[in-house]
A = this chain, B = another copy of it.
Amino acid sequence: MAESNALPLVLLAEQFARLPGIGMKSAQRLAYHVMSMSDSEAQEFAHAIINVHKTVHLCSCCQNYTDRELCPVCADNRRDHKTVCVVESPKDISAFERTKEYKGVYHVLHGLISPIDGVSPDKLKIKELLSRISRDSVEEVIMATNPTVEGEATAMYISKLLKPLGVKVTRLAFGLPIGGMLEYADEITLYKALENRNEI
């Protein structure tokens, strides 16, 4: 933003520009939009940001974001706790829940193995996954990482750790377009990928 702008507006635009997918011009637009909000709307927005950090943490079982001890999926006795779908990030869970067809539970890795980005297996929630296997007598683990190089590598790495434990390990069917992002898949494609999962 040009020097002609009030400093607090410039600072707010810079905050928006740090968000993924928002460039400096969009950020400036958003800062002006916040300025045009009522005081109470701005307060509500700011409060929502702080509140997320105050109240949301990881589910002690599946590592998804939750504001309770257990997330709604893990706390639901009607779900099949012997089938665990392993995903890269919490937003992937929303994608599966939209299919309304998956009745098992989830496990969030919070990343994928990526030596280039310095993400080694010990930085992911793999330890927590392994401890669930015996504790909950898990029968099947569905590797539902994105069909990318890192997603494939992570799925292979984890399946090798799980095989000795006698658990069935499956992989989503490649109905998904390779290189694409799981969170943008439509419900039917995602459901087909679940249905045609193969043992690895």
Contact = CB atoms under 8 A, between A and B. Distances in A.
Given A48-B12, A49-B12, A94 B184 contact: no
Contacts of A91: 28-29, 32
A65 B2 contact: no
A53 interface: yes
Contacts of A51: 8, 11-12
Given A15-B45, A66-B6, A71-B4, A33 B20 contact: yes
Contacts of A8: 48, 51-52, 55-56, 67
B31 A52 contact: yes
Interface in A98-134: 98
Interface stretch (A34-42, A144-152, A154-162): A34-42
A19 B30 CA distance: 7
Interface residues of A, number: 59
B56 A50 contact: no
Contacts of A4: 64, 71-73, 93-94, 97
Contacts of A48: 8, 11-12, 14-15
CB-based closest 6 A-B pairs: A46-B46, A2-B97, A12-B48, A46-B49, A2-B94, A6-B67
A21 B19 CA distance: 14
Given A2-B97, A4-B71, A91-B29, A9 B53 contact: no
Given A46-B47, A73-B4, A20 B28 contact: no
Contact of A39 (B12, B53, B65, B66): B53
Contacts of A52: 8-9, 12, 31, 34-35, 42
